[in-house]
Structure 1
Amino acid sequence: MFDPRLRAKILKVLDISFGGERGFNQAIELSSEILSNVNIVKEQRLIGKLFQEINQDTGKYVFGIDDTIKALEMGVIEILLVGKDLDINRYVLKNIVSNELTIKHLNKEQEADHSNFQDSDTASEFEVEDKMALVEWLSYHYTEFGCSMEFVTNKSEEGSQFCIVFGGIGGILRYEVDIRAFDEDSDDDGVAAE
């Protein structure tokens, strides 16, 4: 007796023992497995789309911390993919001599290296102005860059591969962009200015 359009949307039929709020909570508990599978399917589809862009070498993809942050700042990321367990902190560092601010994204090993908290040119110390988990910072600010953000877990084969091989952060771009070309241009400008 169900409308055929609604029948196609049914994921699972459950038998519950209670009515009201208690029955509703029981239904949620019983359907948790099927709902988590729905999220895994969505995750697999998004990562599959990223892998397809990489395989076809369309230039409409980015991965790794530095390249993804550059693409984000340029506003070219359509879908930002972030590993839920991404263990990287975003530091805002202030040079105590020149008062210039520098932003660094460091993992646990890099945080232990004291040279990451010094200016390489002047050997002056950096003062930590702000420290925040990169995942947390991205979840607060991704809308400012005009993209959507999706979390990736390592519960599927694709998700695990994304987190291990690609560093747990990447994105699908709106159009083809060669991020490395912007590195070379900025390096060339720096050399020409000296």
Structure 2
Amino acid sequence: SDEVNKLFLGMEDLQGIFIGGPGPSKEKFVNDESLDYRLREKILDVVDLGYGGIEGIRALIEKIKDKIANVKYIREKQVMQSFLKEISNDTGLAAYGLEEVQKALSMGAVDKLILSEKLDTYHVNITCSNCNYKESRTAREQELNKLELSIQDESCPDCGSNTFNVSGAVLIIEELGSIAETMGTEVIIISPDTEEGEMLYSTFGGIVANLRFKLTY
């Protein structure tokens, strides 16, 4: 148990522990007084298996796969509830929408960046090949081809030529994730399979954040 304590207590994002094995050894381990109480509280299930080793691990994974999915959803609900609490209490420690969250990220203010798994929006870079004028627009994945065709009929707002072209497109979820990584921000991807996950996408556009400090404009 001492080795287990050393190994797992340092894991900040440990959500739960499943224990499995043949015979009474697993119950003996769970009831060992040297097992830290913080780890004991995270034990989600003790599973009886017919054998140990690699085959035992495979059998354990098969038996607990539905429960693992539930742990994921519980974690996602907790993350969204934490964000919604900041919103409802008007603490100033929450941001939502691409522009606001992107600004907060650039200031190093984002503690947790929360993104919807359904987010399929791109930042599309547009360039005039005549005068090198540049601008950026957003478009969903299914709109990219239509946007590319429509841009060819537009005139450059700077030089007036018809040499507008799409020079690149970056998935916003990847763009924000890269910025978050450089800022030491935790990135959490939320599925739409819970009420909170669907709310993230439909109400907040799939992009929200918990902040370390209030933003000043």
TM-score class normalised by the smaller sequence: 0.7 to 0.9
Instruction: Name the counterpart of 1:168.
Output: 206
Q: How does 1:178-189 map to 2 (within 5 A)?
A: 181=217
Q: 2:157 aligns with which of 87, 104, 121?
A: 121
Tell me which moved more, 136-145 or 80-89. Answer: 136-145
With over 3 angstroms needed to count, the CA separation of the structure-2 counterparts of 1:126 and 1:86, relative to structure 1, is same
Is the Cα–Cα contact under 8 Å of residues 156 and 164 in structure 2 kept in the other structure?
no
Paired letter, 2:32: F
Q: 2:183 aligns with which of 123, 145, 149?
A: 145
Higher radius of gyration, 1 or 2: 2
Deviation at 1:83, TM superposition (A): 0.5
Paired letter, 2:203: V
Paired letter, 1:2: D
Q: Deviations over 1:51-76 (max 9, x none)?
A: 11111122221112222222222322
TM-score w.r.t. the length of structure 1 is 0.78
With over 3 angstroms needed to count, the CA separation of the structure-2 counterparts of 1:115 and 1:63, relative to structure 1, is farther
Instruction: Name the counterpart of 2:40.
Output: 7
Instruction: Kindly indicate whether residue 192 of structure 2 is the aligned counterpart of residue 154 of structure 1.
Output: yes
Tell me which moved more, 125-134 or 25-34. Answer: 125-134
Instruction: Kindly indicate whether residue 87 of structure 2 is the aligned counterpart of residue 49 of structure 1.
Output: no
Paired letter, 1:169: I
Is the Cα–Cα contact under 8 Å of residues 133 and 156 in structure 2 kept in the other structure?
no
Q: Deviations over 1:116-168 (max 9, x none)?
A: 99577345544323223222333344211331111111111111111111111
With over 3 angstroms needed to count, the CA separation of the structure-2 counterparts of 1:94 and 1:146, relative to structure 1, is farther
State the alpha-carbon separation in 2 of the partners of residues 33 and 12 from structure 1. Answer: 12
Q: Any stretches of 5+ residues in structure 2 without a counterpart?
A: 1-30
**Structure showing the higher helix proportion among its residues:** 1
Is the Cα–Cα contact under 8 Å of residues 63 and 166 in structure 1 kept in the other structure?
yes
Secondary structure, counterpart of 2:72 in structure 1:
helix
Tell me which moved more, 2-11 or 36-45. Answer: 2-11
State the alpha-carbon separation in 1 of the partners of residues 184 and 152 from structure 2. Answer: 31
TM-score w.r.t. the length of structure 2 is 0.70
Q: Deviations over 1:163-184 (max 9, x none)?
A: 1111111111121225xx4xxx
Is the Cα–Cα contact under 8 Å of residues 65 and 105 in structure 1 kept in the other structure?
no
With over 3 angstroms needed to count, the CA separation of the structure-2 counterparts of 1:110 and 1:68, relative to structure 1, is farther
Instruction: Name the counterpart of 1:27.
Output: 60
Q: Any stretches of 5+ residues in structure 1 without a counterpart?
A: 182-194
Instruction: Name the counterpart of 1:134.
Output: 172
Instruction: Name the counterpart of 1:177.
Output: 215
Tell me which moved more, 80-89 or 112-121. Answer: 112-121
Relative contact order: is structure 1 or structure 2 higher (C-alpha 8 Å, sep ≥ 6)?
A: 1
Q: How does 1:103-114 map to 2 (within 5 A)?
A: 103-108=136-141, 111=144, 112-113=146-147, 114=150
